[in-house]
Amino acid sequence: IMMREISGINEIEVQLKKKLNLEDVIVVPGNSDEEPWVKNELGRACALRMKACLTGNNIIAVTGGTTMAAVADALTADFSNDQQEVLFVAARGGIGEDVENQANTICAKMAERSGRKHRVLYVPDQVSPEVYKSVVTEPSIKEVLTLIKQANIVLHGIGDALVMAKRRKTKDEEMEKILQGHAVGEAFGYYFNEQGEVVHRVQTIGLHLKDLPHVEHVLAVAGGVSKAKAIKAYINSKPKSTVLITDEGAAKQILACS
């Protein structure tokens, strides 16, 4: 607590909450672009917050990315108690990430570390609309989709649009759409411009933007000065009742911009 007061983190949280008009904001010290340990702090802060959200019956839908992986690393066996049911579910099917960054991998790890169960969403990347239609009628997939819609907690990262598009080896024509649309931010497969409008979305099943208002707790975790624009863009899309967990680097950068 002393450290937080000395570094003025509490004041930054108050200002950022006001500026972004969010329900709650948590800021950890440092800049995760520069210091890797800051991402672990983001993970820890998210794990704590998530723990505080738990009720008797929990379905936690999880997306991918390195920040979500840090959240998984922060989970331990005392995450939940015997009175609490917890199921981790992958929020999205394949969206072009390498295995270690995929929602499936991360949600399996969260379950393993916390001693709980998980369900994955096996959907191949980049399938045709026809294949898609039949995939979603598969009973095993349908079941997971139903669980996602029942999630009371959603955890997701926010990425810089171009960084994410490149990392996912996005096809030229989609890249064109992302560039033409001036996308700056990305979250669970949706690409947003500065105004928070969706300019592109990866065709995959799972959690959609329109599902978020029905989720009790949405925790968005993203830090680093380089993500300031992306975070602002996503928040401009007015996601309902999101708790933002970020770092000092991103927070100060957002506060410095008009």
Residues lying near ligand G3H in the complex (CB under 6 A) are found at 63-67, 157-159, 164, 186-188
Measured torsion, CA atoms of residues 133, 168, 148, 112, in degrees rounded to the nearest 10: 130
> Residue 14 Cβ, how far from ligand G3H at the closest point, in Å?
25
Of 116 and 168, nearer to ligand G3H (C-beta) is 168
What whole-number distance in Å separates Cα of residue 214 and Cα of residue 216?
6
Of 59 and 95, nearer to ligand G3H (C-beta) is 95
User: Would you tell me how many other CB atoms lie within 10 Å of the CB of residue 122?
Assistant: 13
* CA Rg value for the chain: 17
Of 80 and 92, nearer to ligand G3H (C-beta) is 92
CA angle 62, 65, 68 (to 5 degrees): 50
Positive or negative, the Cα torsion across 257, 242, 149, 100? positive
User: Would you tell me how many other CB atoms lie within 10 Å of the CB of residue 205?
Assistant: 19
Of 80 and 227, nearer to ligand G3H (C-beta) is 227
Altogether, the residues listed in the chain come to a count of 258
> Residue 12 Cβ, how far from ligand G3H at the closest point, in Å?
21
Of 80 and 96, nearer to ligand G3H (C-beta) is 96
> Residue 110 Cβ, how far from ligand G3H at the closest point, in Å?
15
> Residue 172 Cβ, how far from ligand G3H at the closest point, in Å?
21
> Residue 24 Cβ, how far from ligand G3H at the closest point, in Å?
20
